[in-house]
Amino acid sequence: MAKLLAAKIEQRLQVHFTSLDIGRIVQDQKTKLDAEWAVPENRLRLAPGEELLGAVYEHIGSSYRKSKDVGQIAQEMQEREIDSEIREVIKKVVALSATGMAPSEFLDGDGNRSKLA
């Protein structure tokens, strides 16, 4: 039964993949990305952060290691350099950690502690 099911799934996937025009899909996405990239304000949102940091570190003769370097970068950042949405998330995390709540707990709409089911 399992082999029959696996064969049917493989057959459907094969039909699906052969019907896709991968070249057209890639070209469409490249065109969309190029159009978004043409607007300078979009570039920070679109740029792959870890790859950019890797290139910067490589340029200065080093290598970027997220586990080691992210803390150092964060220490050097000024609050004004952090997006307001991220600042709000950080403030909420700090506030929740001060309550001593367990990871499985949350505050409901009335501000009461509740547990995840």
Count structural domains, the chain.
3
Q: Which alpha helices (H) appear in 1-117, and where do they start and end?
A: 2-19, 22-37, 43-46, 49-59, 66-76, 84-99
- 99 with 114, same domain: the answer is yes
- The predicted-structure confidence for 5-63, as pLDDT tens digits, reads as follows 999 999 999 988 888 999 999 999 999 999 999 999 998 889 888 998 999 999 999 99
- C-alpha closest to that of 53 among 73, 71, 81: 73
Containing domain of residue 117, as a range? 82-117
Of the pLDDT bands very low, low, confident and very high (cuts 50, 70, 90), residue 102 is: low
- The predicted-structure confidence for 77-89, as pLDDT tens digits, reads as follows 888 888 889 888 8
- 110 with 96, same domain: the answer is yes
- 117 with 89, same domain: the answer is yes
Average pLDDT of the residues in 89-98: 82
The residue type of 29 is Q
- CA distance linking residue 28 with residue 11, whole number of Å: 27
Of the pLDDT bands very low, low, confident and very high (cuts 50, 70, 90), residue 116 is: low
